[in-house]
Amino acid sequence: MTEAVAEPATITKVDTTPEEGEEEIDDAFFEEEPETDFTVTTKKARRKRGEQAFEKTHIRFTVWVDKNLKQSFEDIASKRDKTKTTLLNEAIADLVRKYEAY
């Protein structure tokens, strides 16, 4: 399976020539000449990889979940910068411990 690579986003310079009736901005206002090449790049964090392939240690399963719970779960994953798989594994392990205690 190949990993998708994000293309760098680019911002193109806009023509700032004043329209008829508009005031021209004095270049002396700028301390330095403004840059004309604006490039915004995004860097994707590399995934942590274990010694074994993910498919060898994990299994896919599908569930139905309350919409509000799902959104809260996704917010937690984003805020904590953890994968959903990691959080689900932690939650399921807690449930197993809880119910095996009885």
| 74-87 residue pLDDT tens | 999 999 999 999 99
Percentage of residues of the chain with pLDDT beyond 70:
51
Torsion of CA 92, 95, 96, 100, to 10 degrees: 180
Lowest mean pLDDT across 3-12, 58-67, 70-79, 92-101: 3-12
Q: How confident is the model at residue 95 (pLDDT cuts 50, 70, 90)?
A: very high
